Structures are given as C-alpha cells and as structure tokens.
Amino acid sequence: MLDLLPTMEQLDLFTEGDLFQAYKLFGAHIEKRDGVIGVRFTVWVPNAKSVHVVGDFNGWIGEQHRMHKVEEYGVWNIFIPHLVEGDLYKYEIHTMSNQVLLKSDPYAFFSEKRPQTASIVKSLNHYHWQDDNWQSEKRKSNVHAKPMNIYEVHLGSWKKRNNEGLSYEQLADELVEYVIGMGYTHIELLPLMEHPYDRSWGYQITGYYSLTSRYGTPEQFMYFVDRCHQNGIGVILDWVPGHFCKDEHGLRQFDGTPLYEHEDMMKAEKPLWGTLSFDYNKPEVVSFLISNALFWMDVYHIDGFRVDAVASMINLNFDKPRHQHIKNKNGSTENLEALQFIKKLNETVFQYFPDALMMAEDSSDWPLVSAPTYDGGLGFNFKWNMGWMNDMLRYMETDSIFRPYEHKLITFSLLYAFSENYVLPFSHDEVVHGKKSMLNKMPGDYWQKFANLRLIYSYQMTHPGKKLNFMGSELAQFEEWKDLEQIDWMLLNFEMHDKYQQFVKELNFFYKLEPALWELDSYPSGFQWMDANNDKDCIISFIRKGDDEESILVICNFTALVHQNYLIGVNMPGVYEEIFNSDELKYGGSGQKNGRVKAQLKSCNFQDFSIQLTIPPLATIMFKRVPAVPKEIEGEIK
C-alpha cells in the first residue's frame, strides 16, 4: 500500500463521493519530508474552530500541533517530524460551541486494546504475502459454480487459553487446520474492526479501518489470512456499513455536529440497537465507507463481505416504533440514499475486485438483491436465504407427528430458490438470546434429537444454495452459544457428539466432491422434484444435477417411522447405488441401508421407472445411478 500526499484532485473526489482509496489520504501516514521521517495526519472535520493532534509524544497537549485547514474541503492536515510507528494519538477538536472533544482517528490502522481508546501510528506495508496461487485460481473461477460451505466463527470464543481468545497467529495454526480437516471451504469472521464492547461481537464499531487489537497485530492477522489462502480456504468478513455505536471517542458528533450520522435524528437513530445510521447523502461518508470495503480487500486480502443488516439500511422504519415512522420525498418508506449507496458500493467493489464475494444479510423482500445493477438489482452476488432458514427451523421444531400439517414449510422455498443467488445460513443469530441451540431445537428423545439434527443439515447440504453454519454446530451443542466461553469441545468425549462431528465432516467432504450439489445452484435446471407432495408420510424426494448431467437422487424422511419397500420414481433405468445415508451406525443412526437397487419398469411420481427402498427414520439418503454393474455382483442387487 502506497502512502500518497494529499492533492486537490483527491480532495475533489472525496467531496464528490468518489475517492475509493481514501485510506491513502486520511489517517496517520509515515513519510519523509526534507529528509526527516515523521507522520502526516489528515482528518475530515468541516465544522470545527480548530483541530490539534495530541498524543504520548506531546504529553496529550495539542497547542504545538495545531492542524492546518484546507478550507473549502473541511479537511485538516499536519506533518509532525520525528514521530514513529507505535506512537499513540487522538484528535483534539475545538467545536463551534466551544466544546473540546478527544476523538480517535476514523481512519486509524490500529488502536489501543480495550478499554483504552487511543489510535496508534501504524504502517501496513511490512507483510510479504504468499497467496499468489490462491489469487490466480480465484480469478479463473466462477464462484456461483463452485462449492461453498462456510464455517462462521467468533474468534474470541472458538477456543480459549487462560480465559482469553487465541491470538491471530495461534488461530492461523489451530483454526485453519481444523477447518481444513472438517472439509469447509470458507471461514466467515464476525466483525474484526475495532469495537469497544466485547459483547457487541464486533457489530458496533468505532474504528472501521482499525483491526481489533484483541487478538494481535495487523501483520499477525495478515499471516492468518495468508495461511487460509495457502490452504485453499477463503476468508469472508462481516461488515457493518449500516450503523455505528455512540461511544464518545468514535464517530458520533465527530466535530460537535452530526457528521457521519444523519442530521435528522428520526433518520439517524436506530433504537433497536442504540446506534446511529450513516448519512449516505454525504459524499464524504460514501467515500469513507466504500474505501473501507476496498481497504480490507486491498490490504488484508479479504475475499469478501457478509454485509450486515441490509434490511435496516433500505427501510427507513426498520424496527422503529410507529410514532417514529417517516417517509421519503416520494411518500414511500425505502431509504433512497441507502439504495444508491449500496449500488455504488457493489459496482465499485466489483470494478476493483471482480472475484469478490458480496453477500447481503437481508431479511426484506426487496427484489433482485443479488442481481447486477445494470439489470435493476442491488449488485450483490449472494443473498442470505432467511425465508428458507425460518421455515426450516419452524418445521424442524415441530414434533414429527404434527409435521404433515406443516409440509409446505419444507417445499415452499423451491418456488423462489432461483430468484436470487442464495446462501442457506444457520448463523450465530439462531443460537442465542433464548432461541436454543440447534440440537435443543429438535424435538423427540435423545436419539431423535440427533437424528433430526443430521436430517436438517443433510437437507441443507442438498438444497440449492451455498451453505453457512456457525461454529459449535458441528459438535451438536446442547447449550446456546456462550460468547464469553469457548465452544463445548468437551462434548467430543461423549459418543453421540463424537459421531455427530464425524457425520458433519464426512457430509462436508461428500458435498465438495459432488458437483451435482453445487454447479447449478442458481439455475432451475439443477433441480427436479420427484415427489414434493407426500405430506402424509413427510417424505420428499428430488434430483440435483450438475453440468455433466450426472445427478444425485435425494430422499428425506421427516418422521421417525421406517418405511419398507417404499417406491421412489426415477427418470432413468439401471442400477442405483446408495452413496450417502445419515442413518448409518457410525453417525449414531439405526443402520437402515439399501446398497444397490435396480430400477423397475413401474411408474411412480410421474416417472416410468422406480426403485424400491428402505427409508430410514429421520434421515436423508442419496443415490447415484451406476452406468454398468459387473455380472458377478448382479445377484447382490435388490
């Protein structure tokens, strides 16, 4: 990353909302001027009387380091000689109302570890990346036609030592090795931008450019990302451009006036979270946010973002009490400025990083979220399928004897499955705040809870869409996520939990090896119902197809009954081999198997051929047609 001097061209772009690498202009940059090493500080504070740099180098008294204002841009600048990397600093802002504010740098690259709040002079040019092969392969691939199975992680509670989360360097060894061994393709990290309160999990940010110091240094995090890439693991980062926290040292009332937030408090306030919305109508804020997205991809080689709470950005009245409802200039309730910002954000990201992942965490029914802006979309390339998630959890929490009355909950998603490029998420939000762990959502006795859990995850893995699961789900935790403790690794000492982890591992690797489960995720041609309407037995069957026409037949039984000699329609004659069964003994199941079965010329499910199967209880089974069967084993086929 190059440190550039401020120019009028840069400042013009900044005030037009088009400076997309603002982090090269603003913040604290180590430079040499007239042969002297020092630090150039640049900050946007348009409504201040004066701005000073204070720090440990001047006893936190700013009189001798008053910044110079470029009047028409509201930008202040100073070069202070002899400062070095590691020096602490803040901006002392004298407001028009004669307040004196001490603010952290919005563009700081590093910050003191909480509860301290000073910014730290930091160069990000030291690390030597070794992920060229990853970057080259990424440029060649079509992400929509590749497997994507994401392991969502909160770094502070994945594992702990001495009651502290592991460091970035420790995670580079232990977490990366674990993710590889479990067969995931990507890691998604809850936000790592600097935030004051641990239990916000990073979603209420003060330092958008400052990697949190909780787990180590920027170079150590770069090493973590590099290790992921060298081992074929993508890295997705949660990002929060919708709102920021109100802590005094942060962005709120930065120059004594609403600067980053909207001046109309009816638009600015997010009462549900106690935060403030960004004002997307200010070009300088747009430059700040779009530059921030590019910064993490440029400097830290992040592969993409899960953009948090998109619904709260595009709806002016999201989760607001009725007396706070407002309308836009057209008389409707969408946030017009936020919509324009989102489109510009995605257009710019894909201009600079065409192979980026931009995933919308969006609970609204806004259309074409993952369509390009030139086709009328918002420009993301993926959207979380919250509707599928909610329907599936509601269905699975229903006792199996009542599931026939809720059958549409497991089939409705296929009416819209190809309207967006979807990710199917079971995220951290579903296992906190009294919602219960995934295992404890499942009805039935001890055995049935595990069987139901294997069933919902195997259905997720075979349903069109990419996959995401939160850490700990692979252990079948009985308790909700406890963000102050590590996940329940001790459960692996118990047989059913150990077997369940083995199930998840083998399912993950099976998914990666079967193109029919991901090549045509976004196309109706990749899916065909065999039977969607058997609500009486709560059994569904369908085919997943890949580019080469090879297909996988999937059957899911959502009751605890075993069905013998059950007919399932198939579209081709031949022998079908069972290639995955969630009911195997090694996974903790009942061990009902099929092996190889021969299709009969007997119509079923509107198909000319059918196979006769044993359908295990609360299980998913999968079959693949075998082109030719050796004569010596023909007698073994049912």
Task: State pLDDT tens for residues 510-563.
Answer: 999 999 999 999 999 999 999 999 999 999 999 999 998 789 999 999 999 999
pLDDT of residue 633: 54
Mean of the pLDDT values across residues 139-156? 96
Q: How many CA atoms lie within 13 A of 336 on its CB side?
A: 8
Confidence category of residue 409, pLDDT binned at 50, 70, 90: very high
Look at residues 470, 535, 475 and name the one whose alpha carbon lies nearest to residue 504: 475
- 234 in Cβ contact with 275 (< 8 Å): no
Does position 201 have pLDDT exceeding 70, yes or no? yes
Which residues have C-beta within 8 Å of that of residue 364, sequence separation ≥ 6?
A: 310, 311, 314, 315
How large is the average pLDDT for residues 399-414?
A: 96
For the chain, give the mean pLDDT: 95
Residue 41 inside a domain? The answer is: yes
Q: Quick check: 579 pLDDT over 80?
A: yes
Paired residues of 269 in beta bridges = 276
- In this prediction, residue 566 carries a pLDDT of 96
In the set 279, 284, 303, 361, the catalytic residue is: 361
Q: Assess if residue 360 is contained within a domain.
A: no
Choice among 226, 303, 308, 362 that is catalytic: 308
The per-residue pLDDT for 519 is 97
How many percent of the chain have pLDDT more than 90? 94
In a domain, 390, yes or no: no
Q: Which domain does 90 fall in, by range?
A: 8-120
| 361 counts as catalytic | yes
Statement: residue 10 has pLDDT above 90: yes
Instruction: Reply yes or no on whether the pLDDT at 629 is more than 80.
Output: no
Answer yes or no: is 534 within a domain.
yes
Three-class secondary structure assignment of 446-507: HHHHHHHHHHHHHHHHHCCCEEEEECCHHHCCCCCCCCCCCCCHHHHHCHHHHHHHHHHHHH
Per-residue pLDDT at 4 exceeds 50: no
Does residue 77 sit within a domain? yes
Residue that finishes a domain, picked among 120, 143, 178: 120
Domain annotation covers residue 57: yes
Residue 51 maps to which CATH number? Answer: 2.60.40.10
Distances in Å between the alpha carbon of 80 and those of 2, 126, 386? 19, 22, 51
Residue 638: the pLDDT is 59
Distance of CA 518 to the CA centre of its chain: 19
pLDDT at 7: 86
Residue 100 near residue 54, CB atoms below 8 Å: no
Q: What is the DSSP string of 171-200?
A: HHHHHHHHHHHHT-SEEEE---EE-S-GGG
Domain annotation covers residue 66: yes
Where among 84, 105, 120 does a domain terminate? 120
Average pLDDT for 43-56: 97
pTM: 0.96
Please report, for the domain that includes residue 593, its CATH number: 2.60.40.1180
- Tell me, yes or no, whether 236 lies in a domain: no
**pLDDT tens across 316-340, in order?**
999 899 988 999 999 999 999 999 9
Average pLDDT over residues 231-258: 97
pLDDT at 398 over 80: yes
Per-residue pLDDT tens for 416-464?
999 999 999 999 999 999 999 999 999 999 999 999 999 999 999 999 9
**Domains contained in the chain, number:** 2
| Domain edge (last residue) among 120, 143, 158 | 120
